[in-house]
Structure 1
Amino acid sequence: MRAEPMHETFMISAFEGWNDASQAASEVIHYLIGHYESKLIHEINSDGYYDYQATRPMLCHITGRARIIWPHTSFYDITLSPDLHVLVQIAPEPNYHWKDYCREVLHVAEDYDVTHVITLGSMYAACPHTRPLPVDISSATCSCELDREYSGPIGITTILDQMACNAGMRTTSMWVSIPKYMNTDMCAQGTLELVHGLSTILGVPLDTKDLAARAETWKMKASTIAACDDRLSAYIAKLEREYDLAQRARTIASLGAPQAEQLVKEAEAFLKRME
C-alpha cells in the first residue's frame, strides 16, 4: 500500500453502455472536455477488448476523406483551475478481457501519478423528475469496503474500482438515478447532479450554467409528457409521495427525540390525507 499522498491526483472515468443510462455519466466527461482547457494525452486501442458487432466502428468524413473510427479509450488532461488538473477517461464499456483492460487503464493512471479514481455511472430507477435525482456516492480505500450492501450484476466501473483499491489508490463511485419513464432521452439533469457531486469531491466550483439550462429543458419536456398521459401523471404523483416520505424519514432519523416525535405526527397526518 502506497503512503498517504500530500495531495490528491484524480482520474475521473465513465463508460458508455450498461453503466450509462440516458448517457448521463458519459456526458459529464464530454461536458468537462468541451467546457475547460483539455488535451488528449493517451489512447488505448480497441483490438481484443470489443465485439465489433455489439460496439460497431463508425464511418465519418473529415476534410473530404472517409475515416473509420474504431471503439477506443481516450484520456484527457483537463485544467479545472490554475491549481487543479485532472485526468479523465472516456470509453465504451469493453466486451472482453476486463481484468487486462483495467490493468492497462491503471498503468496509465500510475504514469500520471493518480492517487484517487472516481468512477461515474447512471441507472434507471423509480424516481420522479420533479425532485432532485438521487445520487449515491461511496468511497473506499481497500477492496473489502466496496459494494458492502449490493449483490447482483456489476459493470466495468466496479471492476476498475476494486483493482484501483488493490493497487493502493483511493476510489469514489458515484451513481445517479434516472426516471425510468424518461429512458428515451439524454438526461441533462442527471449529468448536472453528477457534476455537482464532482465539485464537492474535487473541492472546486465547476461551471454549470450551460448544463443547468439544458437540465431545465429536460425537466420541462418530462412535465409536458406527463401532462399528456393520465396514467403517467398518477405514477409520478405516487413517486413524489414516496420521495417526500423518505425525506421526512431521513430528517426524523437525524433529529433528537422531541423533534422526531413531532415530525412523526406530521407524517402520520400527511399519510391520512393521502388515503
Structure 2
Amino acid sequence: MHDPAELYVLTEDADGVPEGLPLVAGLTGFADAGSAVSQLNEFVHETLDGTLIASFDADELLDYRARRPVFTFDQDHISEVTPPRLSLHLMRDDLGQSFLFLSGFEPDFQWQRFTEALLGVARRFAVSSTTWVHAIPMPVPHTRPLQVTVSGNRADLIESLSVWRPVTQAPANVLHLFEHRLHEAADPVAGFVILVPHYLADTEFPDAAVTALSSISSATGLIFPTDRLREQGREFLLKVEEQVAGNHELSRLVGTLEERHDTYMEGNPLPSPLTDQDGQVPTADDLAAELEKFLATRRLDDDA
C-alpha cells in the first residue's frame, strides 16, 4: 500500500489546530435519503466559521465519469470548472466551540488506503471522538418525528437514541469501514443512520438535516442554529399534508404507516417498525405518484 498520507495535503493552518477536538463527518454519494448529508454539509459551511485544514486528492479517489465536475459556460467560453471536493475543516459552532468537520464526496477508489489516511488524521489531531451521519429511506410516516439507528461503541447514545436495532447486511459507506477500525481500536465512535420516509427520500427534506444536527449535538455537545431549517421543515410538511389531506387513498396509506410505527414504539414485539406480523411492508406506489405532483410544484416554487 502506498503511503496513505499522500492522499491529502495539510494547510499551514493545520499546525494551529488544538488536540482533543471531536471529529464530525458526512460524505455524499450513497443513500443520502432526504439529502440529509448534502444539507448538513451546506449548512455547516454556510452558517459556521471555518478554516480549511486538509484537502484530499480527488484524482486518486474519485471516478469523474460517475460524478462529473460542473462547468460554467459564459456566453462564448468556459469561465469556471468546479470539481468535487473532499476536505477537512476546523469549524466553530454557535457557541464558539471548535470541532473538525470532514465533508465532501465519498471516495470511489482506495477505501483501505483512505481509511488509513483518516486514522492518521485522527491520531495526528488526537481527536476525542468521531461522529458521522447518513440517511436511508424507510417505510415510516412523515407525521412522526424522524428516528435514528446508532452504531459504534457509545453505549449511552445507543441506549437513549437507537430505536431500531436490526441484525442485517447492507451496502457499506466508506465511513462504515472507518467506524469499524475505530471500534477495533476502542476509540469513541458513533454512527447515526437517519430513517427518512421512503416517499420523501428523493426530496430535500429539511427535517432530515435537523435530525442530523441534533444527533451530532447529542454525541458532541456542539450547538447549531437550526431555527431556519426548522421553519423550512414546517413549511415543507404543510405542503405534504395538503397533498395527503386531499386524497383518501394517500390518507389511508399514511395511516397504515402511522399505526405500525406507533405499535412498534409502544413496545409491541414486532420484528421492526416497518412491517406487520406477517412481515409485509405496505405499498407506497400510489403515495409516491401523488407526491410527485407536490415535488414538481415545490421545485417550481424554489426556482421562482
So what's the TM-score if we normalise by structure 1?
0.78
2:84 pairs with 62, 71, 84, which one?
71
Instruction: Tell me the amino acid that sits aligned with residue 77 of structure 1.
Output: L
What is the match of residue 195 of structure 2? 177
Distance 1:202 1:241, change over 3 A: same
Cα deviation code 1:29-55 (max 9, x no counterpart) = 321222222122211021122211111
User: How far did residue 78 of structure 1 move?
Assistant: 0.9
- Mean CA deviation greater in 238-247 or 147-156: 147-156
SS at the partner of 2:58?
coil
Select 2:47's aligned residue among 32, 35, 43.
35
The separation in 2 between residues aligned to 1:201 and 1:86, in whole angstroms, is 12
Task: Name the SS for the 2:126 alignment partner.
Answer: coil
Pick aligned residue for 2:108 from 95, 110, 123: 95
1:217-254 per-residue CA deviation (whole Å, 9 max, x = no partner) reads 2211221232344332211110111111122227xxxx
Query: Structure 2: how far apart are the matches of 1:59 and 1:88?
Result: 26
Contact 2:69 2:81 in 1 (8 A): yes
Task: Pick closer, same or farther for the CA change 1:8–1:111 going to 2, 3 Å.
Answer: closer
Query: Which shifted more, 121-130 or 65-74?
Result: 65-74
How many angstroms does 1:65 deviate by?
6.8
Q: Which residue among 136, 141, 151 is the counterpart of 2:149?
A: 136
AA of the residue aligned to 1:87: L
Identity score, percent = 19
Partner of 2:38: 26
SS at match of 2:202: coil
Unaligned runs of 5+ in 1: 1-6, 251-275
Aligned partner of 1:244 in structure 2 is 262
- Given that 2:71 and 2:78 are in contact with CA atoms closer than 8 Å, whether structure 1 keeps it comes out as no
Letter in 2 for 1:96: F
Structure 1: distance between partners of 2:80 and 2:119 = 29
State the 4+ residue runs in structure 1 displaced beyond 4 angstroms. Answer: none
> Which residue of the partner structure matches residue 16 of structure 2?
none
After the TM superposition, which residues 181-200 of structure 1 pair with which residues of structure 2 at under 5 Å, given as runs? Answer: 181-200=199-218
Question: SS in structure 2 opposite 1:24?
Answer: helix
Following superposition, the deviation at residue 139 of structure 1 comes to: 2.9
Once residues 55 and 40 of structure 1 are traced to their aligned partners in structure 2, the CA distance between those partners, rounded to angstroms, is: 23
> Where does 1:203-242 land on structure 2 (aligned, <5 Å)?
203-242=221-260
The answer to whether 1:52 aligns with 2:64 is yes
1:210 to partner: Cα distance: 0.9
Distance 1:138 1:229, change over 3 A: same
Matches of 1:229 and 1:27 in 2, distance apart?
A: 30
Displacement of 1:168? 4.8
Q: Structure 1: which amino acid aligns with 2:168?
A: Y
1:158-209 deviation line (CA, Å, top 9, x unaligned): 1121123345521100011111111331111111112112222222443211
Unaligned stretches of 5+ residues in structure 2: 1-18, 159-164, 269-304
Q: CA deviation at 1:67?
A: 2.4
> Could you tell me how far apart the structure 1 residues matched to 2:84 and 2:44 are?
20
Q: By how many angstroms is 1:84 displaced? A: 2.3
Residue 85 (str. 1) matches residue 63 (str. 2): no
Provide, for residues 86-112 of structure 1, a one-character-per-residue CA deviation record: whole Å limited to 9, x for no partner. 101112222111111222233233332
CA distance in 2, matches of 1:233, 1:99: 47
Query: d(CA) in 1 for partners of 2:239 and 2:70?
Result: 30
